[in-house]
Amino acid sequence: MTVQRELNLEALDEWYATHFEALVSEYAGKAIAVVAREIVAVADTEREADRLAREEYPDAIPLVLAIPTEEVCFDERVFVVTFLPYGEAG
Examine residue 18 and state whether it is found in any structural domain, yes or no: yes
What is the number of structural domains in the chain?
Answer: 1
Q: Is the pLDDT confidence value at 86 over 80?
A: no
- pLDDT of 77: 52
**Half-sphere exposure in the Cβ direction for 36 (13 Å, CA):** 11
Examine residue 19 and state whether it is found in any structural domain, yes or no: yes
Q: Is the pLDDT confidence value at 87 over 60?
A: no
Kindly state the average pLDDT of the residues 9-18: 85
Examine residue 89 and state whether it is found in any structural domain, yes or no: no
Alpha helices in 1-90 (DSSP H): 9-27, 46-56, 70-71
The more confidently predicted of residues 70 and 35 is 35
Q: Give this prediction's pTM.
A: 0.72
Neighbouring residues of 48: CB distance < 8 A, sequence distance ≥ 6: 31, 41
Backbone φ and ψ of 6, nearest 5°:
-130, 155
Max mean pLDDT among 50-54, 73-77, 83-87 falls in 50-54
Which domain does 39 fall in, by range?
A: 9-82
